[in-house]
């Protein structure tokens, strides 16, 4: 187990990169789990993923994008019809308002296209830094750290930060990892959070980074029982 009180900044950087490499071996297929074909679809799907699973979003988006395939179509959509399609994703009224608002904002201010700058993306309704970084990293290839609930929790457990502020966590994590790894390192942490390092009871006994983790032992330590808890 890692003693954080003795860890220098350089040692922490090295440890974070070793953790990331180990997670890359464990999750070679780590990726964005939302289905999308272009930046517009990823932007909308990411907004819809709030408070629900990517699986549920992926069930709703084929019909959504078949009926309203671009910003102009969504901007002119009948909200009642969009609500019906988005109902299974939860909070469907707020999400309908957000995605129609995104369509309108894209048409009015960005020529119907998704902008490539974070400063512009965060001006869209329902779009914060988390969503903006998902779009930049996965649709435009611009490295970005996505601080979702898993990245937030794992950054604490791994001793990368003591902050609760996603903007601070994004900066601290960004300083530990190479910029070119930001997008994929985020996916790997999210995969680890979904499959092994669960919120309530992590499977520490089956964790590939237990020797590098200051929180190792907060969850199930028995290797057999921990292995049975793994998902995916």
CB of 9 to ligand SF4, least distance (A): 20
Catalytic residue among 35, 84, 120, 130: 130
218 neighbors 202 (Cβ within 8 angstroms): yes
Nearer to ligand SF4, 105 or 213 (CB): 213
How far is it, in rounded angstroms, from Cα 181 to Cα 174?
Answer: 9
Q: CA angle at residue 43 from 157 to 148, to 5 degrees?
A: 10
Q: Which letter does DSSP use for residue 113 in this model?
A: S
The radius of gyration of the chain's CA atoms, rounded to the nearest angstrom, is 19
The least distance separating ligand SF4 from the CB of residue 156, rounded to whole angstroms, comes to 9
Tokens at 91, concatenated? 């909070």
- Of 148, 165, 222, 231, which residue is the catalytic one? 148
Shortest Å, Cβ 161 to ligand SF4: 14
Closest to ligand SF4 by CB, 107 or 207: 207
Within 62-140, strands assigned E span none
Q: Which residue has the tokens 């001006």?
A: 123
Question: Looking up tokens 């200051």, which residue turns up?
Answer: 214
Nearer to ligand SF4, 117 or 201 (CB): 201
Q: Which is nearer to ligand SF4, 2 or 96 (CB)?
A: 2
Catalytic site residue 231?
no
Q: How far is the CB of 220 from ligand SF4 (least distance, A)?
A: 9
The torsion defined by the Cα of 152, 153, 158 and 163, in degrees rounded to 10, comes to 50
Which stretches of the chain bind ligand SF4, using CB under 6 A?
157-158, 196-197, 202-204, 207, 209-210, 213, 215-216, 218-219
Distance CA 73, CA 36 (A): 17
- Residue 18 or residue 117: which is nearer to ligand SF4 going by CB? 18
Q: Which run of H or E residues covers position 201?
A: none
CB of 218 to ligand SF4, least distance (A): 5
Q: Is 125 exposed, middle or buried (0-12, 13-18, 19+ CB in 10 A)?
A: middle
- Residue 130 annotated among the catalytic residues of the structure: yes
> What amino acid positions are annotated as catalytic residues?
130, 148
């Amino acid at each position: 187990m890692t003693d954080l009180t003795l860890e220098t900044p350089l040692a922490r950087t090295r440890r974070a990169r070793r953790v990331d490499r180990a997670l890359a071996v464990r999750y070679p297929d780590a990726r964005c789990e939302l289905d999308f074909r272009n930046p517009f679809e990823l932007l909308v799907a990411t907004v819809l993923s709030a408070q629900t699973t990517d699986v549920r979003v992926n069930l709703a988006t084929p019909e959504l994008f078949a009926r309203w395939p671009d910003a102009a179509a969504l901007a002119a959509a009948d909200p009642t019809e969009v609500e019906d399609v988005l109902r299974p994703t939860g909070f469907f009224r707020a999400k309908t308002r957000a995605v129609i608002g995104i369509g309108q904002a894209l048409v009015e201010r960005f020529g119907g296209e998704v902008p490539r700058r974070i400063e512009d993306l965060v001006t869209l309704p329902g779009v914060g830094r988390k969503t903006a970084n998902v779009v930049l990293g996965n649709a435009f290839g611009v490295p970005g750290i996505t601080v979702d609930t898993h990245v937030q929790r794992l950054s604490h457990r791994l001793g990368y930060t003591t902050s609760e502020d996603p903007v601070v966590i994004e900066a601290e994590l960004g300083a530990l990892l190479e910029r070119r790894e930001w997008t994929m390192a985020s996916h790997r942490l999210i995969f680890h959070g979904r499959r092994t390092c669960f919120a309530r009871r992590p499977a520490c006994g089956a964790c590939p980074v237990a020797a590098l983790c200051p929180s190792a032992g907060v969850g199930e330590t028995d290797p057999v029982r921990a292995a049975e808890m793994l998902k995916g």
